[in-house]
Amino acid sequence: MTFHYQNVYINETATIAGPFEKKGPLSPYFDKTYEEFYFGKKTFEQAESKLLEESVNMVLSKAEKTKSEIDLLIAGDLLNQIVSSGYAASNLQIPFLGIYNACASSVEGLIIASNMIDKNQIKNCICSVSSHNLGAEKQFRYPVEYGGPKPKTATFTTTGGASAYLSYHKSGIRVESATIGTVTDLGIKDAYHMGAVMAPAAARTIYEHLKDTKRKPDYYDLIVTGDLGIYGKEILKDYMKTEYQIDLKNYNDTATMIFDLEKQKDVHAGGSGPACAPLVTYSYLFDLMKKGKLKRVLLVATGALHSTTMVNQKLSIPSIAHAISLEVIE
């Protein structure tokens, strides 16, 4: 399902990242980084919610808006019942829609907002996501204390809060079109190989987007997925070729960009979590776009729609990807 927009712009963004991202190559591009995992809060969940809320307040400040001038907040995260978003929304006091498509939530939010702004149903919107490495470890994987070894294909949940301020006011980056994805499940059950789980969903959405817009991949200066990791990225390229006869060249994956995979061995196959793709896009990629080094970018956020419950029941892991086309204003 593809939409074309005439009047939607991401005017401002805010990116706040945690200690591992601070040590990564994109550190200078983030608006703010933290040295540790608590940010003055007592628990990982409350810390994550603070990140999301802080990124909203930061984007408000950049856009020179007060909370009461914002029509809508759309937010999502990985915590059960998306409490990072819910508790932040409670403090923020902006009309709120909670969303969940795992790590595809960032683009899901941008699409819902863009549809409403393009038709003048709302005048502006803040779209936010968050993730927290230790919050995710606690909820999804081993107990943190355990420190069990992981396979190389595992990804490392990024710690961050990322917000975008969208309106019909012409400034920043234009949202040109978007494609809502369909859930894809090729039967993979390995929660430590999310790149393999999500690559087919990403491929399908890229294919649908190119088909619906009658474009070739080289229409875009960059097609960027988030977050497949180093193995998933190769799987995606192979799968695009064999399944759809499409050769991806100007392609990258945010999981492999946010960390230095040579030096930061702890992150295994790269970054993940809803915050990873927007942390990279809203900071580093938007900087390249504003400098004219990239004009057209297709951001494809990918999400694995599993839970520990369903993985323990030996079900395979469904995944989804949503795509959004971003352009430098002429």
Residues binding a second copy (CB under 8 A): 1, 3, 42-43, 45-46, 71-72, 76, 78-83, 86-87, 89-90, 92-102, 108, 111-112, 115-116, 119, 121-122, 139, 180-185, 305-310, 313, 315, 318, 320
Residue with Cβ nearer a second copy (171 or 308): 308
Residue with Cβ nearer a second copy (41 or 295): 41
Shortest distance, CB of residue 182 to a second copy, whole angstroms?
5
Residue with Cβ nearer a second copy (277 or 285): 277
Nearest to 206 by CA among 242, 236, 175: 236
Look at phi and psi of residue 52 and say left if phi exceeds 0, alpha if psi is from -120 to 50, else beta: alpha
Angle, vertex CA 102, rays to CA 248 and CA 280, nearest 5: 55
Residue with Cβ nearer a second copy (99 or 328): 99
Shortest distance, CB of residue 49 to a second copy, whole angstroms?
9
Shortest distance, CB of residue 184 to a second copy, whole angstroms?
8
CA distance 154 to 240: 22
CA distance 299 to 269: 20
Residue with Cβ nearer a second copy (120 or 245): 120
CA distance 232 to 235: 5
CA distance 47 to 39: 6
Nearest to 23 by CA among 31, 13, 33: 33
CA distance 56 to 91: 11
Residue with Cβ nearer a second copy (250 or 307): 307
Shortest distance, CB of residue 140 to a second copy, whole angstroms?
9
Residue with Cβ nearer a second copy (25 or 98): 98
What would the 3-class secondary structure string for 110-128 be?
HHHHHHHHHCCCCCEEEEE
CA distance 60 to 67: 7
Shortest distance, CB of residue 165 to a second copy, whole angstroms?
16
Shortest distance, CB of residue 168 to a second copy, whole angstroms?
14
Shortest distance, CB of residue 123 to a second copy, whole angstroms?
10
How many Cβ atoms sit within 10 Å of the Cβ of residue 8? 27
